[in-house]
Amino acid sequence: MSTRANLAISASFVVLVLLLPAVKGSATEEFARETGRACRECHLDPSGGGELNATGKAFLAGRAEAGNGHPYSSPLHHGIRFAAGFLHLLTAVMWFGTILYVHLLLKPAYASHGLPRGELIVGWGSIALIAVTGTILTFYRIPTMDVLLHTRFGRLLMAKIAIFLVMTATAFIVTFVVGPRLKARRVKVDPRKRDLTTEELSSFTGKDGSPAYFAYRGTIYDASGSKLWGNGLHMGKHQAGFDLTDVLVLAPHEEDQILRLPVVGKIVGRSAPGKKPPHLAAFYFMTFLNLFLVLAVLLIISLWRWG
């Protein structure tokens, strides 16, 4: 298995381990609803979940004697909560894993000329599913505004919702404002030209009849005739028209798979570092903001478990 795959799996596993403690047992939530007391009143662990203390055991026994008559304690409601919780965790792992993989391994420069379609589908699909499942879970866990505003769990939940809304807003701006401007950055290039700048290279994406060129270690290669680069896209991830050195060094195949492709020329005239265009600067800012927000969400989940 490649280093890239191992890192992606490891990141997803860590996120899942951190998320799992956030799933509370129904006894903890029923106790909070009916008594207004904190989790530590019922569990040995102050954050809730796990082994019950004497008070928790007495409460659980009382519920059993009463026939477990809470309106949301039926098998149907338990099934809905379980399904919503499972999908919520699974989608969060996918979304966070994608953010960490793209921004830490592929690096933001990879999308500096446009956003990959697959990434957009995963991102917006995750946002929609997290919103729906989160609403369902909140309905079951927060019976009143008083619980939301005056309990530790409620305040942490509000903070997590606020972070989610900020991340959704940044996704909207990047998708519908910044993304189209990045994609529109095209440079007209003489097709007979061999040595290209990175800006000129971005015109050769393998789409709309253009050749599929990419750069690797300063050399430009032509992948137009390769079956593995259909429509200028390699393995559904790597788009032609970019300097893919940082990406391809992590590829599971050997370097000779790249070197056997026809050579076009060299990357030349690299632009000197300077002030980025506003839309490109906004993209980089939102990229690192999302990384920070992911870490903030994981911190909140940790506080739920260990606070």
Tell me, yes or no, whether 237 and 163 share the same domain: no
Q: With b meaning 16 or more CB within 10 Å and e meaning fewer, what string describes 140-177?
A: bbbeeeebbeebebbebbeebeebbeebbebbeebeee
Residues 104 and 173 in one domain: yes
Q: What is the pLDDT of residue 37?
A: 64
Residues 6+ apart with CB under 8 A from 211: 191, 204, 222, 224
Distance CA 59, CA 179 (A): 54
CB-CB contact of 6 with 289 (8 Å):
no
Which residues are within 8 A (CB) of 170 and not within 5 positions of it... i.e. 6 or more apart?
286, 289, 290
pLDDT at 113: 56
Residue 190 lies in a domain: no
pLDDT at 161: 93
Same domain, 9 and 66: yes
- Report pLDDT for 266: 93
At 36-66, the pLDDT tens digits run 566 677 766 665 555 677 777 776 666 555 4
Query: Domain residues for 140?
Result: 3-183+291-306
The pTM is what?
0.63
8 Å CB contact between 220 and 266? yes
The residue ranges of the chain whose pLDDT is under 50 are 1-28, 66-69, 271-274
Residues 177 and 205 occupy one common structural domain? no
Q: What is the rounded CA–CA span in Å between residue 302 and residue 226?
A: 47
Is 211 found in the same domain as 121?
Answer: no
Q: What is the pLDDT of residue 60?
A: 65
Distance CA 198, CA 188 (A): 13
Quick one: 92 and 226 in the same domain? no
Q: Which of 50, 63, 65 has its CA nearest to residue 20?
A: 50
Domain identity same for 175 and 209: no
Number of domains composing the chain:
2
- 209 lies in the same domain as 168: no
Residue 252 belongs to domain with CATH number = 3.10.120.10
156 inside domain: yes
What pLDDT, on the 0 to 100 scale, is given for residue 272?
45
Angle between helices 54-65 and 26-35 (to 10 degrees): 90
Closest CA to 111 of 167, 183, 166, 170: 183
